[in-house]
Structure 1
C-alpha cells in the first residue's frame, strides 16, 4: 500500500480568529502612529516607549515585547546603524536626520499583532529615504505573494525580488540583513516557520492556505548584510556602520487576497 505524506502547510486561522488578530493588530498600528508623531528632535527613545505602552494599555492590550525573554521595552527602537532590537533608553536622544525603525507588538484576548516601520526625524538624506522606501517596497512584494497555492519560499523570493527591483529603481545597492526574517504568528508572537528575506531554493516548501498567517519583515542596509549583537545581548548593528531600515506587517492569506492584520490609522 502506498504511503502518503501529509502536506506541510503554514499554520492557519479561522475567519473569526483572523478578526481577533486584526483587533490586536489595530492596537499596534495606533501605537506606531502615536510613536511617529512623538518622534521629534530632543525626544528620547524611552519617551517613545512610554507613548507606545500607554496606547496599548489604554486600548485594553498588553505590550508583547515587554518582558519577552527579559526585553525591557514595549517597543524596539532602532536608530541609524541599529537594525533591530534597539532597547529604549533615556540616553538615546533623537536628532534631525535620524533614521528610526520602530518595532511594536501587542496582545489582545490572547492574540498577537506585530508590525514595524522606519521613518525620519525631520527630513532624511536621499540615501536614507530611498533605503526606507526600498524596504517598504520589499514588504509590499512579500505581501502580494500571500495567496493560496504559493509556498513559503515564494514569499521569500518575492521579498528579494522587491529588493532587486528597488535597486534598479534607485540605482543603488541594498544589503539584505543576513540571518533575520519573518515568522509565524498567532497565540504566540514568534512561531514556526521562519521566513527568510531572500530566495532559499530547496527550502520553504510549506504551503500557504486560506488563513495562513505570517509576520513579514524585510530589513535592508545601505551597505552589507553582516551584523553584530552588542553586549546588551539585544541590539543588532550593521558591521560596516551603514544605516538600516525595517518594515513589517502581520498578514493573512484569504480567498480575497492578502489581508494586512496590522493596519495603521490614517
Structure 2
C-alpha cells in the first residue's frame, strides 16, 4: 500500500460468490479514491482472527463479514454498537488506532430495501412474520422490532424459534398469523414451502436471497399481485453505511443496482 491508499474487504467462507467486491470497487472508482476492496477467504476461525489482527496493525481500514464469521467478529471486537450487541453478530468491522469496532448494517439494509421497493409500507403496529430462525433472522427481527412491528417467527423446528424469540423479545408465530401479516420475510437459505394464497392482498413479500433475483417465493407473490422486495436491494442497502464507515466518504451517485444486475445477467 502507498501512504494514501486504504485497503478493506469482505471475509467469509466460501467467498468467491460475493458481490461486495464489485459493489465497493465500483464506488471506489466513482469516488476517485486511492483504495482497494478485496475478498478474503479465511479457512477457519484462527485464520479469521489473524485477518482481524491485520486490521489492528493498521493494514486494513475495515472488513465486511459474512458467514460463518459474524458471531466471531463480534467476539473479537473491542467496541460494539448497540445494534450489533443486540443482534449477537457483526457484519462490519472497522479499525482505528489498534482497536476494532463492530457494527451490524444488515438491519439497516433491510429497512432501506423496504423503503425503496415497498415505500407505502409502514410496519409500525403491524404484524410481520419472518420465516426461519437462523443467523439472518436476527438482524431482520431487531430492525423490524425497532421500527415498531409486531414480529413473529415461524420455523420448522419450533424449539429453535422459541429460543431466538425469547432472546430477542419477540414471539413465535402460529401459521394463522400469516393471514393478517403486512410483511413476510424469507430468511431461510432455501425456498420455503409456502402458500401465498393465504396472505392478504395488501401483504408485502421479501426474500433475503438474491440468487436468483426473483426467487420462486417472490415469483409466487407477484403472480398473486403482491408487492415484493428482493435481496439485492438489501445487499446494496447494507453496503452503503459500510462503505462510508470504511472509507470516510459518502457513497457516490452510481446506479449500482444496474451494475450488479448486468454482472448477474439479470434484466429486472
State the TM-score bracket (shorter-chain normalisation). under 0.3
Normalised by the length of structure 2, the TM-score is: 0.28
Structure showing the higher strand proportion among its residues: 1
Higher relative contact order (CA 8 A, sep 6+): 1
Could you say which structure has the larger radius of gyration? Answer: 2
Structure showing the higher helix proportion among its residues: 2
